[in-house]
Every structure is written in C-alpha cells, then in structure tokens.
Amino acid sequence: MNEERRILLVDHLPEGVRATDVKPLVTDHLPPNPSMEVIERAYIQWALSAEEGNKAKAAEVLGIDPSTLYRKLNRYGIEV
C-alpha cells in the first residue's frame, strides 16, 4: 500500500486556531486557595465569554445540560 504523506502547516488551520492572542481562563485575581464555587463561577464566565454569551453553546462547552447552566447562572448571580 503506497500512502501519500502530506504536511500540515499552520497556514492550513482556521484563523481561530492560529490566533496567538490567548485569553486566560480566569481574569480576576483569585484568592490563593479558591473554593470550588469560585472556580466554577470563573469557568462558567469564561465559557460564556468564549461563546459570546450563547448559553446553549456554553453549556455544551461545559459539558452540562442547558437547564443546569441556567440554575448555576441564577445561583451565582451571573447575567448575560
């Protein structure tokens, strides 16, 4: 079997993947030992920001049901 090998260059990747402007997951200064709630809240905010406020997509990124995301938004007082 003769397989043709191809080289994947950075230029072949979509712009979003090539972007070098990487945003940190957490932009606020967290306490030295943050609670799981603080971490979860920051992660939810990051997902919403990454998906431009689209709650359905953010829930998918987070791996949770949209209804769970809505409950967490209410719990943490996050408005989109």
DSSP label at residue 77: T
Single pTM value for the model: 0.64
Q: Which amino acid, 58? A: A
pLDDT tens digits for range 37-62: 988 998 999 999 989 999 999 999 99
Domains and CATH numbers, the chain: 22-76 (1.10.10)
- Say how far apart CA 26 and CA 44 lie, in whole Å: 10
**Residue 69 vs residue 38, higher pLDDT:** 69
- Say how far apart CA 70 and CA 24 lie, in whole Å: 24
Please name the residue that has the structure tokens 């079997």.
1
Neighbouring CB atoms inside 10 A of 26's CB total 14
